[in-house]
Amino acid sequence: MATTAEAQSAPSSTRVRAARRRWWREVGWRYVVGVLAIVYAGFPILYIVSASVSDGGTLTGSTALFSTFTMDNYVALGETRFWTWVVNTLVIGSITAVGTVLMGAAAAYAFSRFRFSGRRVGLTSLLVIQMFPQVLAFVAVFLLLLSLGQVVPILGLNSRVALIMVYLGGALGVNTFLMYGFFNTIPKEIDEAAKIDGASHAQIFWTIILRLVAPILAVVALLSFVSTFSDFLLAKLILQSEENWTLAVGLYQWVSDQLSANWGLFAAGAVISAIPVVALFIFLQKYIVSGLTAGSVKG
């Protein structure tokens, strides 16, 4: 009897070991990679949070994480123009995101639904132009705004409106192609049914299509907001007075001078400035995956 039980348990244990090996080969290694990725991405965040609550003004004093804890750096932000920069950044980023979505959606709808002469050339031109980063034109942008400001001051240097216009000038291109692929997944029969009911192209676009493509609108809005929020070069080039600065420009000024850099204040500002982006990402999270993948189904 004992020999029979041992013979039955041997194949069972072999199957268990085989199942475990198969699980590690197919699934288990992904958990290891996931944990390593979280540690790799999370350590810089943990380090900057530790520096923000350190009583020293340098990063070298924060090598021991959370060795000291004080909120002095956060309190000191109220004595600066930090909150003015926050408002400036949120206003510029929000307006740019909305404008980018509307411009990109209108262009994508036209390219997806209409057939007109120059359609393919227009799509190709947008793609080629977008291959060159907008920052390559910063000298031309500076000279243009310098001259334009003499005629229309609100569109000249040191104007937040001018900065928004510059951002919107590069809003098409990749965003249009991203939306174009998503618009193509919406059956054209919906448009035809709406036309039979007497709807115009504008009514179809605003009341039907935009609701169906909400995921891609959310993705484009998020990408536009994040890129505007973190932009430094164009903001530094155009916004010259301290009260008009954005967060990227303002925070840089605190650490630009090696002899008087205040890294504690910079770390506290960086932690707070990350909150709007994280909150927006969490709010739009349900749209991100579908918005990025659905456009590749039908181009």
pLDDT surpassing 70 at residue 41: yes
135 and 233 in contact (C-beta within 8 Å)?
A: yes
Output the pLDDT for position 175.
Answer: 80
Task: Indicate if the pLDDT at residue 292 is higher than 60.
Answer: no
**CA-wise closest residue to 238 among 130, 143, 170, 129:** 143
pLDDT of residue 288: 73
Amino acid identity for residue 17 in this structure: R
CB burial string 62-71: b at 16+ within 10 A, e below: beeeeeeeee
What is the average pLDDT across 38-58? 83
Q: pLDDT confidence of 19, banded at 50, 70, 90?
A: confident
pLDDT at 296: 44
The residue-averaged pLDDT of 31-55 equals: 88
- Name the band, by pLDDT with cuts 50, 70 and 90, for residue 92: very high
Extract the tokens encoding 111: 């390219």
**Banded pLDDT at 55 (limits 50, 70, 90):** confident
pLDDT in tens, 160-202: 999 999 998 877 777 888 888 888 888 888 888 888 888 888 8
User: Is residue 57 within 8 Å of 257, Cβ to Cβ?
Assistant: no
Burial 19-50 (b: 16+ CB within 10 A, else e): eeeeeeeeeeeeeeeeeeeeeeeeeeeeebbb
Contact 51, 64 (CB under 8 A): no
Give start and end residues of each alpha helix (H) in 149-200: 160-169, 174-183, 188-196
Q: At which residue do the structure tokens 């004595």 appear?
A: 79
pLDDT category at 246 given cuts 50, 70, 90 is very high
Mean pLDDT of the chain: 84
User: What is the DSSP-derived secondary structure letter of residue 1?
Assistant: -
Average pLDDT over residues 81-110: 93
Task: Output the six-digit token pair for 92.
Answer: 């510029």
Where do runs of H (alpha helix) occur along 114-230?
119-130, 138-148, 160-169, 174-183, 188-196, 201-204, 210-212, 214-230
What interhelical angle do 29-52 and 263-283 show, nearest 10? 130
CA distance 291 to 178: 9
User: CA 156 to CA 187: how far, in whole Å?
Assistant: 44
pLDDT at 6 over 70: no
Architecture of domain 76-296: Orthogonal Bundle (1.10)
| E strand or H helix at 155 | none
Contact 216, 87 (CB under 8 A): no
| Tens-digit pLDDT profile for residues 202-235 | 888 898 888 888 888 988 999 899 999 989 989 9
State the average pLDDT over residues 99-108.
Answer: 91
pLDDT digits (tens, 9 = 90+) for 112-168: 888 888 888 888 888 787 777 777 888 888 999 999 989 988 888 999 999 999 998
